Amino acid sequence: MKDSGPIDVPVRIPGTECRVLVGRGLIGRAGEFVREAGLRGACAVITDENVARHHGEAVRKSLEAAGYRTHFFVVPAGEQSKAMSVAESLCDRMIEAGLDRSSFIVALGGGVVGDLAGFVAAIYQRGIPFVQIPTTIVAQVDSSIGGKTGVNARAGKNLIGAFHQPRLVLAETDTLATLPDREYREGFAEVIKHAVIRDAAMLDEIDPDAPRENLGPLIARNIAIKAAIVADDEREQTGTRALLNFGHTVAHAIENAAGYGQFLHGEAVSLGIAAALEISQRKAGLSAAAAQGVREKLAAFGLPLTLSNGLSTDELIAAARRDKKFAEGKIRYVVSPKPGEAFVAEDVTEEDLRAAIDSLRA
């Protein structure tokens, strides 16, 4: 899978203008692409300490070369920054800097920064445009696409948020070179999820030894999968977008019960996928061989498949009940009958969920 340069990925969400580019050298041209997207006014770049160190100056230079007055707002790295208090602080700092309704935001970083900055863009001055420059696999293939923004509540992940589509997404693959190995590998849980729900052939093609600089086509392929699903059901009204939650019911429960930051998101998703495979075998007819193939692919990336006894099943069930994927007290659980297909099951019970969580301790 060689990267042949920027790839323009079609994103056709009704009523939305969003251009998505994937490839190398995009950060150095960020100002040019932002100008082409029609954005005007001053710019607030929201990033974290780690990303600012690696990529902040290149983004600043590019935006200022294109004529944008640029303000940088740096938050601590980690899930703890995805909080209402941080969003409020950012709004206050933007007001102090004189940013108004003609301004826009650039989210430079991984999923935490993208969700946080997108949420600030959704609420600041009742909504201003924003640009995503995702710097991790998770952010590039998943969280930067689709317009879900938000912060965590004490009771659960992403319980406070808004739908707010970015005007531009620049998935710069050169940023992957600076990722620590653990953060790089965790992102492939979302790639594997996309393969399970929509693209069975991709399972065989995901290679843990592929050079990072060659991942452009794989990232573009994943963006196209998510964009197509979002275009069918942007605000989760028909159930199609819910397919993207495969593995996430248990994943979000693990993140919440363990304390945000104990597990990387992709690590929790890997455990959630393992639980979803167990339920899919019982409720959707997924074959044991197919389930094992997915587990082996997760393991090839060093992703966890077993859960310690430190988190009790009761704790996880309690956390899952607070998740958005419970509707009127009923579980909206995504299962897969075979790789490449998924649906929302109506007959998954709390007992099924409990048994699947217990299976992670085997």
**DSSP label at residue 170:** E
Which CATH number, 1.10.760.10, 3.20.20.450, 1.10.287.110, 1.20.1090.10, labels domain 189-359?
1.20.1090.10
Block residue for tokens 């939650």: 245
- Residue 2: the pLDDT is 47
Residue 152, CA atoms < 13 Å, CB-side half-sphere: 20
Q: Point out the residues that are catalytic.
A: 126, 148, 190, 226, 236, 241, 245, 248, 252, 265
- Compute, in degrees rounded to 10, the torsion defined by CA atoms 144, 147, 152, 155: -130
Helix H or strand E encompassing 165: none
- Residue 59: the pLDDT is 98
- Residue 260: the pLDDT is 82
Give me the residues of the chain with pLDDT under 50, please: 1-3
Q: Are the C-beta atoms of residues 97 and 71 closer than 8 Å to each other?
A: yes
pTM of the model: 0.94
Contacts of 342 (CB under 8 A, 6+ apart): 196, 197, 198, 243, 246, 334, 335, 336
- Residue 5: the pLDDT is 64
Question: pLDDT tens digit string along 75-134?
Answer: 999 999 999 999 999 999 999 999 999 999 999 999 999 999 999 999 999 999 999 999
Between CA 281 and CA 278 the distance in angstroms is: 5
Question: pLDDT tens digit string along 280-310?
Answer: 999 999 999 999 999 999 999 999 999 988 8
Domain ranges of the chain: 7-179, 189-359
- Residue 4: the pLDDT is 57
Closest CA to 90 of 57, 59, 113: 113
CATH topology of domain 7-179: Rossmann fold (3.40.50)
Q: Residue 144: count other Cβ atoms within 10 Å of its Cβ.
A: 31
Partners of 46 in the β-ladder = 73, 107
- Residue 327: the pLDDT is 60
Comparing 7-179 with 189-359, is the CATH topology the same?
no
Between CA 212 and CA 103 the distance in angstroms is: 34
